[in-house]
Chain A
């Protein structure tokens, strides 16, 4: 199985901060990577697909980069609605696998 390693596991930040989350794959997955946001008690929400494409309706402050084994999710200016947990997931090979998540909380 492809292992997905996210860092950091927790990130404390303030409104307006630029934040970056990293995801590394244990083998090359090309650009078959997505990012989700999850809030407590809710289903995950797709933010970014194919590593860098913004899902319809997602604010442009979210962006994704990377290919192969190294990927990043950046929020350019953190908003109150962005405090949540973020997961990366590869869909290059079955079984699809997720990172363990990065919780973004208020500093």
Chain B
């Protein structure tokens, strides 16, 4: 079946970086864009950016420009999201989600905690 499986929870100190992976299976990896969305505790959803697995072109939200890097590995059908210069307000659940018309399949989420 179609699924996206993300890495487990991460804890980082302020100023560090984190790299979250999202492994896709059950569909043609290069046929769907992949997005990253985060949700801070008790808050709403925030779109961070997307990557086209077919070629690797990315589009990032202005808020994260310079701090986020999204990449993909077609040999392992995995996308990655790396966020640098972490702050306490980056503490959130990070989701990957594929899109066709909207985001129809989501990963289970990865909790990233930034704390000294």
Contact = CB atoms under 8 A, between A and B. Distances in A.
Contacts of A83: none
A97 interface: yes
A87 B62 contact: no
B20 to A, nearest CB: 14
Contact of A34 (B35, B46, B61, B101): B101
A94 to B, nearest CB: 5
A44 B102 CA distance: 11
Identify which of A34, A36, A43, A44 gathers the most chain B CB atoms within 10 Å of its CB: A43
Contacts, number: 59
Given A43-B107, A43-B109, A96-B35, A91 B102 contact: yes
Interface of B: 35, 37, 44-47, 49-50, 59, 61-63, 95, 97, 99, 101-104, 106-109
Contacts of A1: 62
Nearest to A95: B61
A100 interface: yes
A55 B105 CA distance: 11
Q: Which label, helix, strand, loop or mixed, suits the secondary structure of the B interface?
A: strand
Contacts of B59: 94
B101 A53 contact: yes
20 contacts: A1-B62, A34-B102, A36-B45, A36-B103, A43-B106, A43-B109, A44-B45, A49-B101, A55-B102, A87-B44, A89-B47, A91-B102, A94-B61, A95-B62, A98-B44, A98-B47, A99-B44, A100-B44, A101-B44, A101-B45
Contacts of A96: 35, 47
Identify which of B49, B101, B102 gathers the most chain A CB atoms within 10 Å of its CB: B102
A44 B103 contact: yes
